[in-house]
A and B are shown apart, each in its own frame.
Chain A
Amino acid sequence: MSARTVTIKENILGANEKKADSNRKLLDSHHVLMINMMSASGSGKTSLILRTIDRLGGKYRIAVIQGGVAPSIDGDKITRQSVPAIPINTGGGCHLDAQMIRQALEALDLDRTDLILIENVGNLVCTADFDLGAHKNAVILSIPEGDDKPRKYPMMFVEADVVLVNKADVLPYFDFNLEAFPEIIRGLNPSAGVFAVSAKTGDGLDCWFSWLEEALG
């Protein structure tokens, strides 16, 4: 049989994007806001989530979806705060995808949820390419990681709706130019909010909480 050419021109991650759109529709029908929190490993995602539950947990019904190699370690910290935490063990996989999130959404009572925080796998490369169906992306970068990360991993920062520069309390010990940093982000992504915060001391977190409350509408 002779060979023939079939034109395809289809995005390889198209199936994931369809599933992500369907997740967003499901959430919208239950009036739930979902935030995808992405960062490298060790930037303070879990601590920021705990702070957020502390501050907003009395006002909004919060649930957490956690992806990772050992999500139960972080999950134990979350459930101590009496909010639902769904662990997704990616088995070493470097990102979450929309289908994994769908299964987690099915395990949650969406009618009794206002806000879902996704703690994505610690990774500044892969997570940016997979739409999960979240309404907003929050990217966390901590001071010790350095201010050159947007140049190395631009996609993560292009996809961000808000960038939290965490561990601002250790700024004096590192060569991180915090003054110039917001301009670097806004050069790539003019609409992104940039807030310096410390999950440890609580400094700057009010900006993040206000941003979240505005998104919650």
Chain B
Amino acid sequence: MHEQSMVESLLTLALNNAEKANARKIVSIHLVIGDFTGVMEDAVNFYFGFLSQDTKAAGARIRYTHVPGQLRCRDCDTLFPLQKHDYHCPECEGKRVEIVGGRELYIENMEVE
């Protein structure tokens, strides 16, 4: 994935919201990531570490919630999680599926001082 530009956007969003909230410091950021985004925690932490230097977000901890890939069978409407790149419906073996979850990439909230 493209963690560097994603972390740049994440940081801008976090700092703008810290400004709005009259915060002195960002303590932690709660990030929600869908599995389909392919965002890697280690890479986010790495880029966040140096991009946040000398900002209100310096030293902030990122907490992650991962959302699994969620599929819906177009034939029988069954909802099922994506496992091992298998796109077959477990109920009717249908191959026509809609991706309904797992593309999330947002900040849920942050803890500020």
Contact = CB atoms under 8 A, between A and B. Distances in A.
Interface of A: 1-16, 93-95, 97, 125-126, 129, 151-152, 154-155, 158, 183-184, 186-188, 190
Contacts of B12: 15
Contacts of A12: 6, 9-10, 13, 105-107
B97 interface: yes
A19 to B, nearest CB: 11
Contact of B24 (A1, A126, A151, A190): A1
B13 A188 contact: no
A187 B13 contact: no
Contacts of B107: 8-10, 12
Complex A-B, nearest 10 residue pairs according to Cβ-Cβ distance, in ascending order: A187-B96, A8-B107, A126-B2, A1-B113, A6-B21, A7-B109, A187-B95, A11-B106, A3-B111, A151-B85
B105 A11 contact: yes
Interface string B31-49: 0000011100000000000
B52 interface: no
Contacts of A8: 13-14, 17, 106-110
A122 B111 CA distance: 39
Nearest to A150: B87
A16 B112 CA distance: 25
Which of A7, A8, A125, A188 has the largest number of chain B CB atoms within 10 A?
A8
A9 B107 CA distance: 5
Nearest to B94: A187
Contacts of A15: 9, 12-13
Contact of A9 (B18, B21, B108): B108
A126 B111 CA distance: 30
A13 B33 CA distance: 12
